[in-house]
Amino acid sequence: MEQIYLTMVFLFILFLLLGTGVWVGLALFGVAFVGLELFTTRPAGDAMITIIWSASSSWTLTALPLFIWMGEILYRTRLSEDMFRGLAPWMARLPGGLVHTNIVGCTVFAAVSGSSAATLTTVGKMAIPELRARKYPEYMIIGTLTGAATLGLMIPPSLTLIVYGVTINESISKLFLAGIIPGIVLGGMFMAYVAAWSIIKPKEVPNIGTDWSFREKLYESRFLIPVLLLILVVIGSMYTGFATATEAAAIGVVGSLVLAASQGSLTFETFKTSLLGATRTSAMIALILGGAAALSLAMGFTGLPRALAAWIDEFGLSRFELLIALMFFYIVLGCFLDGISSVVLTMAIVETMVREAGIDVIWFGIFIVVVVEMAQITPPIGFNLFVMQGITGHNMGYIARTALPMFGIMVLMVFVLILFPELATFLPEGMRER
């Protein structure tokens, strides 16, 4: 009974602070301070200072601002225009035509960005005018782009996976490797949806009247070579053991600066703007992580995570039932919080339950990212919906409806992961064997 009371108090204070517009990180600090002051004998100030320093001085965490900076640099290059030129000849003859450039473009850019918002903005500015000019249906342009941009949360370097790994003290490199195959599979499922649409509604697919020879396709593909090389170097350096996640991030920053300079896009203004953008985003995430660490400490002193885990254990849920319950929990939570906040806010409790249930935490990281992806296109707080509204001017309801099929595909992906866990564990296990 006491633990239920504590839970109610924590939740009341948290939603009270969030409801008044307080930043998520500061709201977490507030709940932690109240919890330590009212329910423990530990001095709140000393305890919070120690845990905040420990959480923010992690060497692994240095990968976060570096990967963010890499994405910011590339966001300001001519990468998007080059990607469309390189992808269009290969996508045009597929069922569904150039709509596939939305999905493949998001997959490629996600591998150098790590952010769904940056992926959506960059690929959206590239693809939307081109597809509209070729008379593709608006609902397919908007829906596929909004959904496919969520791949930025899964395909490495994923900011959400970095935050998850730091929160539960797991290897970032292994989490990155775990996200590669599921990310490609999910992208393939999105492309299958586009192909099915073209078969069911062939009259809506415009005839663009362009047929490239194989030689012409290869020639246009030269625009993809720089970014593909950057992806191979960053991901390959981690898989081969040549570099840690942080070192790979530093390599990625240097590579993105070289790429920007080679395109003539690297000016002092571009450099300064990208650095400031990365600083702002990194500071926001660091504040959330610090608040989450303080809240985890407060909850640990009160014994709340263990008590709640024991309470859930009394229900005798199987692994499958627990995962389905967590899926619905995160979908609901994602209606009100962004993905990173959802992860750090709940890990203090969920990690204990997952480990006690014998669920691989590397696999669970991919599971939770897929569910958090759904939250990106779920009203009222789905961040991708806001970004797409800013790009197109469409109302939120219309954008959410166009993205609904992509949401359904993500739900299907959850069950695919449960049925075939090797999709997420194969590459990390190969890394352990090395």
Q: Is pLDDT above 90 for 212?
A: no
Q: pTM for the complete prediction?
A: 0.76
Cα–Cα distance measured from residue 289 to residue 310, given in angstroms and rounded to the nearest whole number: 26
Average pLDDT value for residue range 409-420: 93
Cα–Cα distance measured from residue 28 to residue 285, given in angstroms and rounded to the nearest whole number: 13
> What integer pLDDT is reported at residue 282 of this predicted model?
78
Domain count, the chain: 1
By residue range, what is the domain housing residue 407?
2-14+22-433
What percent helix, strand, coil does the chain show, rounded to 5? 80, 0, 20
Q: Which of 17, 287, 269 is nearest to 163 (CA)?
A: 287
pLDDT top residue among 406 and 333:
406
pLDDT top residue among 336 and 141:
141
Q: Is pLDDT above 80 for 394?
A: yes
Q: Is pLDDT above 90 for 413?
A: yes
- CA geometry: angle 219, 225, 228, nearest 5 deg: 140
Mean of pLDDT over the chain = 80
Q: What is the DSSP letter of 42?
A: S
Residues 6 or more apart whose Cβ sits within 8 Å of residue 227: 74, 79, 82, 83, 108, 109, 112, 259
> What integer pLDDT is reported at residue 182 of this predicted model?
92
Cα–Cα distance measured from residue 130 to residue 141, given in angstroms and rounded to the nearest whole number: 10
Q: What is the DSSP letter of 395?
A: -
Q: Is pLDDT above 70 for 335?
A: no
Residue 1 burial class via C-beta count within 10 angstroms: exposed 0-12, middle 13-18, buried 19 and up: exposed
Average pLDDT value for residue range 22-47: 77
Q: Check: CB of residue 194 under 8 Å from CB of residue 141.
A: no
Q: Which of 35, 158, 50 is nearest to 107 (CA)?
A: 158
Q: Check: CB of residue 122 under 8 Å from CB of residue 79.
A: yes
Cα–Cα distance measured from residue 63 to residue 74, given in angstroms and rounded to the nearest whole number: 17
Residues 6 or more apart whose Cβ sits within 8 Å of residue 344: 28, 163, 167, 288, 289, 291, 292
> What integer pLDDT is reported at residue 7 of this predicted model?
66
Cα–Cα distance measured from residue 22 to residue 320, given in angstroms and rounded to the nearest whole number: 36
Lookup result for tokens 């309470």: 311
Q: Check: CB of residue 120 under 8 Å from CB of residue 161.
A: no
Q: Is pLDDT above 80 for 71?
A: no
Residues 6 or more apart whose Cβ sits within 8 Å of residue 187: 103, 104, 106, 107, 148, 151
Q: Check: CB of residue 47 under 8 Å from CB of residue 39.
A: no
- CA atoms within 13 A of residue 230's CA, in its CB half-sphere: 30
Average pLDDT value for residue range 157-172: 84
Cα–Cα distance measured from residue 198 to residue 422, given in angstroms and rounded to the nearest whole number: 31
| SS3 assignment, position 378 | coil
Average pLDDT value for residue range 221-244: 80
| SS3 assignment, position 421 | coil
Average pLDDT value for residue range 42-63: 74
Q: Check: CB of residue 389 under 8 Å from CB of residue 396.
A: yes
Average pLDDT value for residue range 55-73: 75
